[in-house]
Chains A and B, each alone.
Chain A
Amino acid sequence: SQQGEEDPQALSIQEGENATMNCSYKTSINNLQWYRQNSGRGLVHLILIRSNEREKHSGRLRVTLDTSKKSSSLLITASRAADTASYFCATAPNRGATNKLIFGTGTLLAVQP
C-alpha cells in the first residue's frame, strides 16, 4: 500500500496546549496537504506545502516538510476544544494527476476544555 502513516494515532491534550502530528509517506511528491475531518463529516482542506518548501504557516497552524526523510508535521498552537477532530495528511504524486491524493492513516485529536 502506498498509504502514508501518521503518528500518533490518537492524541489527547488540554486546551491551550500545542498539538503535533507527524506524517510519513513513501513516494516522491508534488505537494503535501493536511485535512481535518469532524466525526461523520467530509474533509476540510487546511494547508498545502509544496515539495520545494520546508515550512508554512497559516494562523495557528505550522507545517513542515522534509522530503529527504519523506515526512511532514502539523503543529496546532494554543489548541481549542473546537480543534477536536481527525487530521489527515495527503500526498499528491509527482507525476500524473496531481489532484489524485493518497491519504495517511490519520490522527484523532481530542482537546479537553
Chain B
Amino acid sequence: GAVVSQHPSRVICKSGTSVKIECRSLDFQATTMFWYRQFPKQSLMLMATSNEGSKATYEQGVEKDKFLINHASLTLSTLTVTSAHPEDSSFYICSASSGSNEKLFFGSGTQLSVL
C-alpha cells in the first residue's frame, strides 16, 4: 500500500516557540492532504484540507494563523504550529489521498508536548 511519512514523531517545545510537522507521500502523488488533531482516547478532528498549490481550507473553529499549512508539492505538506502554548499539546496526524482514491493513507502521527 501507499506510504505516508510524518516527522517528527514526537516533539517537546517551550511555550511561545513554533513547531513544524512534515507529511510526505513517499510513493504516490498526493493531490489532497488532511491534517487532524486527536486528544487522548478521542476521535480524530479534522483541522484543515490541504490541496497542492492552493490555500488550505480550515474547519470551523481552527485558527489559520495559528496552524499554518503549506502544500508546496504533490508529495509534501507541512503544518506549523505557531507560538505554541500548552493547550496546543496534542497528537497531530496527517493523511493523504491521490486523485479519486477514496481511502486515506495516514502518517504515523506527531505527539506535540508544549511546556
Contact = CB atoms under 8 A, between A and B. Distances in A.
Nearest to B51: A97
Nearest to B32: A99
Contacts, number: 60
B95 A48 contact: no
B44 A103 contact: yes
Interface stretch (B71-79, B81-89, B97-105): B97-105
Contact of A99 (B44, B101, B108): B101
B41 A42 contact: no
A88 B44 contact: yes
Interface residues of A, number: 25
Contacts of B105: 45
A45 B46 CA distance: 17
Given A100-B49, A106-B43, A108-B41, A42 B109 contact: yes
A30 B1 CA distance: 23
A88 B43 contact: yes
Interface centre among A43, A44, A88, A99 (most CB of B within 10 A): A99
A103 B46 CA distance: 9
A11 interface: no
A98 B42 contact: no
B44 to A, nearest CB: 5
Interface of A: 3, 30-31, 33, 35, 40-45, 48, 88, 92, 97-106, 108
25 contacts: A35-B106, A40-B111, A41-B108, A41-B109, A42-B4, A42-B93, A42-B109, A43-B44, A43-B95, A43-B104, A44-B106, A45-B104, A45-B105, A88-B43, A88-B44, A97-B49, A99-B34, A99-B101, A100-B34, A100-B46, A101-B34, A102-B46, A103-B44, A105-B42, A108-B41
* 9 closest cross-chain pairs (CB), A and B: A42-B106, A99-B97, A43-B106, A42-B108, A45-B103, A103-B44, A103-B43, A105-B43, A42-B109
Interface of B: 1, 4, 6, 32, 34, 41-44, 46, 49, 91, 93, 95, 97, 101-109, 111
